[in-house]
Structure 1
Amino acid sequence: MSTADAVDREVAWLTSSGDGLPALLTGAGGQWQNVQAYMPRSPGRRGSNVYVLRRAIREERFANQRRMAVHEFHLKLVWPLSNGTGSSEADQRAFDVAVDDVLTRIGGYPGDHSHGGRFRSVAESPHWVDVRFEDPAITVPADAEFRAEITYSADDAEFNG
């Protein structure tokens, strides 16, 4: 494993389906039209998107010979205002449900938080996943969308170095 492919490994987990956890992509029965690594130059409008970014990499050293890369993932979530009845509240509720699906997938299986063996552990240290919602009073009039950001960490496998 390389630190360079961590974002792609996490996207592979988030786009998995048929494993007992909520599917995220609409093609697999989920609510998100797009889950992708990195932010595109021109983000699509009017679609439900999850962009997986990495905010930081830390290399932890221990036992004088061992190292472990720790990735801080940063997901940018975009949800369009799309309710045909003009109900912003209904779209916000749908966004909450879609965010909950992302959180469930990040949490993984009870007893296995390795995201299918892609990492040593995810969302375990520190012991939190942080979700921040942007103010809809700003995002709806300006862009007709709701936005949130999710931050969590993933520990990679240890290596000598």
Structure 2
Amino acid sequence: MSSADAVIREAAWLVDFNAVDGLPALHASQGGPFDVVQAYLPRTPQQRRPQLYVIRRRLQEVRTAHVRRMARHWFELRVVWPTSSPSGAAEGPQQALDDAVELVLQRIGGLMLDKTHGGRFLSVAEDPAEVTVEYSDPTESLPNRADLLCAISYAADDVETNG
């Protein structure tokens, strides 16, 4: 594993679905709420589609012992949620965004007693106090029929290496 592929590994965890483990699906092809779940922001995002992008906000090399070090990644999930709804009401898309965020938080939380995201990391979101969700102000989006936005942030520790 390399710190360079951490964003790809985390996106793989978010899109990976196994109905047996009890974690929710996020991608629409598996019954989840997002049409797009991918690593990195595209140059031209899709329009009017629920989207989730994994980006890395920070990378820190942590010295864990004299000759051991560990990469700590701060991930941000950018959520783009369309404001259109069949009823035309603004409340529906806001509630749908909250519902989708709840599924993402369950997925980030991982399996009971396993915070490795399927062995992709040493631990992810181990401290729930460090998992944050920040919503953009909907009063700016709704009048312009623009998308609702939020960012979910958390840290992941990679496996230790000699160095």
Show the counterpart of 1:67: 69
Separation in 2, partners of 1:126, 1:55: 18
Q: How does 1:96-111 map to 2 (within 5 A)?
A: 96-111=98-113
Instruction: Tell me how far 1:125 sits from its aligned partner.
Output: 4.7
Show the counterpart of 2:45: 43
Instruction: Tell me how far 1:144 sits from its aligned partner.
Output: 2.5
Instruction: Tell me how far 1:84 sits from its aligned partner.
Output: 1.3
Normalising to structure 2: TM-score of the pair? 0.95
Which structure 1 residue ranges, 4+ long, deviate > 3 Å from structure 2? none
Instruction: Tell me how far 1:44 sits from its aligned partner.
Output: 1.3
Amino acid at match of 2:152: I
Amino acid at match of 2:140: I
Q: Say if 2:30 is the partner of 1:28.
A: yes
Change (3 A) 1:67 1:126: farther
Separation in 2, partners of 1:95, 1:63: 42
Separation in 1, partners of 2:129, 2:87: 40
Show the counterpart of 2:55: 53
> Conserved in 2, the CA contact under 8 Å of 1:81 and 1:91?
yes
- Backbone CA RMSD of aligned residues: 1.2
> Conserved in 2, the CA contact under 8 Å of 1:53 and 1:75?
yes
Change (3 A) 1:43 1:143: farther
Separation in 1, partners of 2:119, 2:9: 10
| Runs (5+) with no aligned partner, structure 2 | none
Separation in 1, partners of 2:124, 2:145: 32
SS at match of 1:93: helix
Amino acid at match of 1:17: F
Cα-to-partner distance string for 1:64-96 (whole Å, 9 max, x where unaligned): 110000000011100101211111101111110
Show the counterpart of 2:132: 130
Instruction: Tell me how far 1:160 sits from its aligned partner.
Output: 0.7
Instruction: Tell me how far 1:143 sits from its aligned partner.
Output: 4.6
Identity %: 52
Show the counterpart of 1:11: 11
Instruction: Tell me how far 1:141 sits from its aligned partner.
Output: 2.5
SS at match of 1:98: helix
Amino acid at match of 1:134: S
Instruction: Tell me how far 1:51 sits from its aligned partner.
Output: 0.8
Separation in 2, partners of 1:126, 1:84: 35
Show the counterpart of 2:2: 2
| Runs (5+) with no aligned partner, structure 1 | none
Normalising to structure 1: TM-score of the pair? 0.96
